[in-house]
Amino acid sequence: MKKGTLRQILLITDGCSNQGEDPAAMAALAREQGITVNVIGVLDHFDAEDSRGLQEVESIAQAGGGISQIVQTRQLAQTVQMVTKQAMTQTIKGVINQELQGILGETGTVEDLPPEKRGKVMEIVDELGETVDLDVCILVDTSASMKTKLPTVREALMDMTLSLSARMGRNNYCLYLFPGKRKAVTRVVSWSPNLDSIERAFEKIGTHGVTPTGPAIKEATKSFGQIARRKMLFQDDEAYDDGPRF
């Protein structure tokens, strides 16, 4: 089986967008291009005002074919790495389900197999999740209300790279913050195999009142085009190597 590359957008936000395109529509558009959109909503207390943010978080992930998870700030670290990994498994399972439907007919999915066979299929899913290459574009909402949560977000992202770099497959990350200084979105880290450079990325952020989630997702979707081009330039595989391969 030829291994492909899984492409994900990871959106970390705490509330409602209020500028630009409809974020769910943009997520659906990303999905059409083979990119999964996962959303983590950092909501510390649930009240009436938050419920709209909650709905938006869910609808973006649904439209983007990904996973959404609402967490409190202190649980962020474990959640970020878990959501990313679960989304990978989900995507791989989706592909396998499609193959199975071809064999078993319309209703065949992994869940419909007897436990013994399901176990074997999951072994393959695991194996693929371990060896497939992964591109993650991280989008962090840095609007005023997120400001105090940013140090935790940074830690959570470092933790995620720690978990992912233990895989055999290669990883690529890029990091966008929104709202940006002049534009809707600013790229702070361009595609690279590690996120070491984010240490200081969060320091020089000004606060803005707007939250252009839609445009941010659009920009993130475009960024996957850049990586395709970069891969053409760097035919030398070593540049992306970040772990032993077998």
Partner 1 sequence: MTGQDFNFYPGTRIIGKWHRKQYELIRKIGSGAQGTVYLAVSDGKKMAIKLARDRASLIAEVNVLKQFEQLQSNPLGPSLYDNDDWLYGGETIGFCAMEYLKGTPASEALRKRSFDWTIVFLVQLLNQLKKLHESGYIFADLKPENLIIIDPGHQIRCVDFGGATKIGRSVREYTEFYDRGYWGMGTRKAEPSYDLFACAMILIDAATGGRFERSGYPQDQLLRKVKEASRLVPYQSIIFKALSGRYASAEEMRQALVSQAMERQQPSTQMRRRGVSATAKSKTNDGWVSAWLAASIMLTIYIVCVLVYTM
In the chain the first and final C-alpha atoms are separated, in Å, by: 15
CA separation for the pair 246, 45 (Å, rounded) = 46
CA distances from 92 to 11, 127, 169, 173 (A): 20, 10, 14, 20
- Let me know: does 133 contact 170? Beta carbons within 8 Å: yes
Taking the complex as a whole, the smallest distance from the CB of residue 151 to partner 1 amounts, in Å, to 11
Q: Which residues 94-133 are close enough to bind partner 1 by CB under 8 A?
A: 111, 114-116, 118-119, 122-123, 126, 130
- Let me know: does 151 contact 202? Beta carbons within 8 Å: yes
Identity of the residue, 69 or 172, whose beta carbon is nearer to partner 1 in the bound complex:
69
Taking the complex as a whole, the smallest distance from the CB of residue 239 to partner 1 amounts, in Å, to 21
Identity of the residue, 1 or 166, whose beta carbon is nearer to partner 1 in the bound complex:
166
Site string for partner 1, 210-239 (x = CB under 8 A): ------------------------------
Q: Return the axis-axis angle of helices 213-233 and 48-63, rounded to nearest 10°.
A: 30
Q: Which of 5, 19, 163, 194 binds partner 1 (CB under 8 A)?
A: 163
Length of the chain counted residue by residue: 246
Site string for partner 1, 46-75 (x = CB under 8 A): ---------------------x-x------
Taking the complex as a whole, the smallest distance from the CB of residue 222 to partner 1 amounts, in Å, to 30
Q: What angle do CA 220, 168, 83 make, to 5 degrees?
A: 45
Provide the binding-site residues for partner 1, judged by CB under 8 A: 67, 69, 77-78, 85-86, 89, 111, 114-116, 118-119, 122-123, 126, 130, 159, 162-168, 246
